[in-house]
Chains A and B, each alone.
Chain A
Amino acid sequence: MSEAAAIAAWRTLGARRAAVSAAALAGLAASFAADLATGPALLPIGAVLRTLAGINDDPMLAAIVLQLRLPIGLMAIIVGAALGLSGAVMQTILANPLASSYTLGISAGAGFGAALVIVFGAALPFAQIWAIPTAAFLFAALACALVAAAGRLRGATPELLVLAGIACLFLFQALLSLLQFIASQEALQMIVFWLFGSLLRASMTKVAIVATVLAAVSPLLLRDAWRFTALQLGDDRARGLGVNVDALRLRAFAAVSLLTGAAVAFVGTIGFIGLVAPHIARGLVGEDQRHFLPASALLGALLLSAASVASKLILPGTVFPIGIVTALIGVPFFAWLVVRGGAR
């Protein structure tokens, strides 16, 4: 292969990866439309699209689509993207394909925060619909801060961060169990329901909040794309190439905590997306992070949006909690992916 041929081959590869992402985007659009069309009343896609475009004068239809289903459909996309992106970054900086907001205790932290408000929140002067996500976010951030503090003290090596994350997971799970133990019957039910994860609590305000965080954090992460790619060759080599490894890890960790915290705060613990989306993305576009990060976000959005559709179709008339659906569909799918021969 000549010099020009090597460059041309790499450019072709880049174009192919962009095409994969474009296909995922098209799939996402289709899934979004299906999400708006499905529900207790099955709506024709054409009518849904006309409503979105503002050229439908059926007020009943408009109310269903714009007020009930649109926030849920958008929330699925934004939260899915946030979870996919943060999972990808975590797997990269921790050099571990099993790292995700769930395995690192961030979701557990959020769950504990939410439960805390559910059990003791009656005493708070705030409405629960805001107090619960706020507490969930704060405790997710606290979980991250604990892990990052361990990294600051002892050097931010992947092993140490993963260990600290797992310790965090156990800590918050134990605390959560304690809360469940002392909770009233009614509170217990609320906690369990929160932990299932659900998109039904979505509203346009909440969508806007998570979208803002996503829009603020993504460019910061993308700016480090090449440094993330270098980091995958090992700390020593990355340092030799000029990366300040510890600083990069901690800054990425902070960005990702913000992202996951915001995502899980409003929808509860939705496991799996953060694990599976990057896994599929890696197989499809490789780990040049300029492709890998956007593809992980897109696939996360697609997966959660598709899960939202599925949650309404499994048992007509019932909406299954989305966290359960992602796990029930995701686990066999993931097992199949792994057995078929992973991306690595």
Chain B
Amino acid sequence: MSIQANGLTVRYGAHVAVRGLTLAAHHGEVLAVIGANGSGKSSLLRALAGLVPHSGSVARRPAARIGYMPQETAARAALTVFEVVLLGRLRSLALKVATPDLDAAARALDEVGIPELASRRITTLSGGQRQLAFLAQVLAADPTILLLDEPSSALDIAHQFQVLTLLREATRRRGLTTIAVLHDLNAAARFADRLALLHQGGLLAEGSPAAVLRPETLRQAYGISAAILAGPDGCPVVVPTGVAA
């Protein structure tokens, strides 16, 4: 276990966004969090990152470094992409920027495949390009636990494939723990080792893609009827067929 939530509850005033959730993620594993809009995915990630008040407990090793990427990708600052990525190193940045920080930023830009955007103003990028820049920012921090809120929602199909492959490989190679909120169920099934399906702040189903992506759970979580097919490599493919009555 590398990060573990026990009876995690997040409240906004009287509204309960996450209710008593217990969930663990392990080294070298990609855990995809899925669920309908408003089911509490972002709140769960923010609580795991320690950014919202919550009850229940979150356990992780004291040495763990969390890289958190919020869902929001808007940016108004007059900063270049390189500067945005460099900010990932905030904890070690000095007035005169040290070489290791510069190297880490340049490497991260390379890793997500946008080195040519380094000198562009962040405000001039497309939504997808910004998402890649923010992903590079998170990677530049050299985290051990990645908490990514919809890291690929604005990406075209090629970049989505590239980013999710990158995340899975980096997770395996560096022994990271990656928890990513994904809306694309088929991408989640392909790239994640395990899925956690949230419904109204609670955990509706958890386990392998085949165990979670079933007609009954999808009907309950999303209110759709769906056919589950077998994909080319055996992982399930969800085909919505209608809105459940």
B-binding residues in A (CB < 8 A): 1-7, 9-10, 13, 95, 222, 225-227, 229-230, 232-234, 236-237, 239-243, 282-283, 286-288, 290, 343-344
Cα-based distance from A224 to B107 in the complex (angstroms): 26
B116 within 8 Å of A by Cβ?
A: yes
Cα-based distance from A144 to B191 in the complex (angstroms): 51
Cα-based distance from A49 to B86 in the complex (angstroms): 45
A-B contact pairs, 24 of them (CB 8 A): A1-B116, A3-B106, A6-B82, A6-B105, A7-B102, A10-B82, A10-B83, A10-B86, A10-B102, A10-B119, A226-B93, A229-B77, A229-B79, A233-B79, A233-B87, A234-B75, A240-B66, A240-B67, A241-B91, A242-B90, A242-B91, A286-B80, A286-B83, A344-B76
Interface size class of B (residues with CB under 8 A): 35 or more
A-binding residues in B (CB < 8 A): 46, 49, 51, 66-70, 72, 74-80, 82-84, 86-88, 90-91, 93, 95, 102-103, 105-107, 109-110, 115-116, 118-119, 121, 123, 134, 137, 141
6 tightest Cβ-Cβ pairs between the two chains A and B = A240-B68, A232-B77, A3-B106, A6-B118, A287-B78, A236-B70
Return the contact of A286 from the options B74, B78, B87, B95 (Cβ within 8 A): B78
Cα-based distance from A282 to B137 in the complex (angstroms): 23
Return the contact of A229 from the options B67, B69, B72, B87 (Cβ within 8 A): B87
Chain A residue at minimal CB-CB distance from B118:
A6
Query: In the complex, which residues of chain A have a beta carbon less than 8 angstroms from the beta carbon of B67?
Result: 240
Given contacts A226-B93, A240-B51, is CB(A1)–CB(B115) below 8 Å? yes
Q: Which of B66, B91, B119 has the most CB of A within 10 A?
A: B119
Return the contact of A233 from the options B51, B80, B84 (Cβ within 8 A): B84
Cα-based distance from A6 to B84 in the complex (angstroms): 13
Query: In the complex, which residues of chain A have a beta carbon less than 8 angstroms from the beta carbon of B74?
Result: 234
User: Does more than half of chain A's interface fall in helix, strand or loop, or is it mixed?
Assistant: helix
Return the contact of A243 from the options B90, B106, B119 (Cβ within 8 A): B90
Query: In the complex, which residues of chain B have a beta carbon less than 8 angstroms from the beta carbon of A230?
Result: 87, 90
Beta-carbon contact of A344 and B107 below 8 Å: no
Cα-based distance from A237 to B70 in the complex (angstroms): 6
B144 to A: closest C-beta gap in Å: 15
